[in-house]
């Protein structure tokens, strides 16, 4: 599921949700993580026979026009910025799945088997049909930030 809410034409709230399950004698294993699903996590880092994924972005104009004269005349136009929050969970056994809390010695509200990341990014139309994407993300459990910032560059489409 995807939806976009345009505000003042140049500003967009974008939302995406994915849910999937696989069962039977040879169930499929779903993998999430990486630039196109759960930023801040490595490609395929989160795995399971059941999957929930949610992405939320606020997209806005960042740089309208930049022209360099030396060493080559290069022009960049229409660079867009974004702020995002991604969350996902993948699991096999529903009885062992603990979306929130549940760790000994830790109190308060925090994510456990649900993973999340937030961050910033920039997008630019490259080569007429590909989007050059740069994201700076950080993992979180909604109580603490986890690990260092991660920067990733990729080429592809938006959701």
Contact 44, 32 (CB under 8 A): yes
Per-residue pLDDT of the chain (159 residues; tens, 9 = 90+): 999 999 988 999 999 999 999 999 999 999 999 999 999 999 999 999 999 999 999 999 999 999 999 888 988 889 999 999 999 999 999 899 999 887 777 778 899 999 999 999 999 998 777 899 999 999 999 999 999 999 999 999 888
CA-to-CA distance for 19 and 57, rounded, in angstroms?
18
74, β-bridge pairs: 68
Considering the entire predicted model, what is its pTM? 0.89
Report which DSSP code applies to 8. T
In 3-state terms, what secondary structure has residue 149? strand
Interior/surface letters 95-131, b for 16+ CB within 10 angstroms, e for the rest: eeeeeeeeeeeeeeebbeebbbbbbebbbbeeeeeee
CA-to-CA distance for 79 and 69, rounded, in angstroms?
19
């Amino acid at each position: 599921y995807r939806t976009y809410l345009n505000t003042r034409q140049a500003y967009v709230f974008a939302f995406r949700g994915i849910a999937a399950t696989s069962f039977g004698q040879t169930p499929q294993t779903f993998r999430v993580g990486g630039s196109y699903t759960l930023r801040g996590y490595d490609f395929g880092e989160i795995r399971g026979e059941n999957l929930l994924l949610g992405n939320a972005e606020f997209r806005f104009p960042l740089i309208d026009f930049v022209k360099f004269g030396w060493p080559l005349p290069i022009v960049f136009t229409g660079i867009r910025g974004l702020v995002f929050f991604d969350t996902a969970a993948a699991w096999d056994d529903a009885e062992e799945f603990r979306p929130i809390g549940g760790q000994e010695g830790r109190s308060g509200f925090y994510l456990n088997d649900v993973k999340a990341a937030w961050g910033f990014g920039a997008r630019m139309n490259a080569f007429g049909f590909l989007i050059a994407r740069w994201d700076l993300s950080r993992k979180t459990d909604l109580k603490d930030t986890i690990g260092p910032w991660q920067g990733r560059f990729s080429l592809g489409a938006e959701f």
